Structure 1
Amino acid sequence: MTAANRQRWKLIALIAVFVAPLATAWVMVEWRLGVPEERTAHGELNPDVPPLAQWPLRDAPHVLEAGDWVMAFDCPPSCDALADQWWRLHRALGREAPRVTRLRIGDAATPLPGEVLGQWQEAPDWQSDGQLWLLDPRGKVVLSYTAGAEPDDVLDDLNRLLRMNPDKPENLEG
């Protein structure tokens, strides 16, 4: 093999190093080969739920002013066990707990530590008793959970959201 042939093969190998990933990605996109189909979140994406600022809450609490993530849950009458469950989940966040505010929506005489109370003016059609929503610092619903959601699943999703978004946003404008 001559020196010129060796140089050609080096050039071809160098081009292949850069072209092979592009060709592989194109094949994956066009023919859906090797693309994972599973979901990582346990909650449901629900784009029909409006941002928190548009929720029909009486004496709307100002939970978005701090720029925290919000864990809002609908608390039907006599839901002390449910409120305690979400309080324990909040405690399980450890050092990340100050980045999350709990909003209990429903009739409650006294809030649990670190909890903000709110009440529906009228129940919207997208709401159901015992439902839980995770909201970003701008008040947009990220994930929603039906009544009876597993706390471990919610904790897993919330930890993932906090890990993927490490800082409070500087600009809280829409």
Structure 2
Amino acid sequence: MTHAGRQRLKLLAFFAIFALPVAVAWGMVEWRIGIPEGRTAHGELQPSLPELSQWPLTDVEKQGEGDWLLAFDCPEACGANADRWWRLHRALGREADRVSRLRIGGGGEPLPGASLAQWTGEADWRSPHRLWILDPEGRPVLGYAPNVATADVLDDLRRLLRMNPEPPSARYESPSTVVGGTGDGE
């Protein structure tokens, strides 16, 4: 092979190095090969639910302004569910301070670190023993049926926290805030 032939071969190999990944990616998209068909969230997306401030609740208190919120409906005594979500909250480890818990309804005192609110009216989307994850602005992100596996909720919550990192100024904000509500005093 002559010198010019080797140089042409090197140039073709150089082009192939850059063109081959593009061709493979195009093939994967075009023929749906190697692309997962399933969804990543275990809960149901909740874009149609109103913001937390519009829920018929007494005042809701969060631990921090930028906290995500685990809100669960307890129509009657629900010690097992409250304990389940308390353990999930502890399982978050160092990210636990970015999440607040809200028990809606039920009797007795809430577990440590949780706040308590009561329903003040009817909501057509409400169902007993349901769990919702709400973003820091109070928008419902995911909803879960009563029989959801705790590990699935933990997986979704960790993914949400990882994909939405805490802003650097969040550590300096006020420790407790009240979010909306339609209590008797309003």
TM-score, with structure 1 as normaliser: 0.85
Q: CA deviation at 1:4?
A: 1.6
Sequence identity percentage: 60
Alpha-carbon distance in structure 1 between the residues aligned to 2:119 and 2:41: 28
1:153 aligns with 2:142: no
Alpha-carbon distance in structure 1 between the residues aligned to 2:168 and 2:73: 27
Q: CA deviation at 1:130?
A: 0.4
Alpha-carbon distance in structure 1 between the residues aligned to 2:29 and 2:5: 35
Gaps spanning 5+ residues in structure 2: where?
171-186
Q: CA deviation at 1:147?
A: 1.0
Q: Which residue of the partner structure matches residue 52 of structure 2?
A: 52
Segments ≥4 residues shifted beyond 4 Å:
none
**Count, aligned residues:** 170
- Find the residue that maps to 1:71 and give its secondary structure: strand
| Greater length-normalized contact order (CA 8 Å, ≥ 6 residues apart) | 2
CA deviation vs aligned residue, 1:106-147 (integer Å, no higher than 9, x gap): 143322110111122223222210000112222222221011
Q: Which residue of the partner structure matches residue 135 of structure 1?
A: 134
Which shifted more, 155-164 or 140-149? 155-164
1:164 aligns with 2:163: yes
Q: CA deviation at 1:53?
A: 2.6
Q: CA deviation at 1:164?
A: 3.1
1:73 aligns with 2:106: no
- Find the residue that maps to 2:44 and give its secondary structure: coil
RMSD: 2.2
Gaps spanning 5+ residues in structure 1: where?
none
CA contact (8 A) 1:67 1:169 kept: no
Q: Which residue of the partner structure matches residue 42 of structure 1?
A: 42
Tell me which amino acid in the other structure corresponds to 1:150.
A
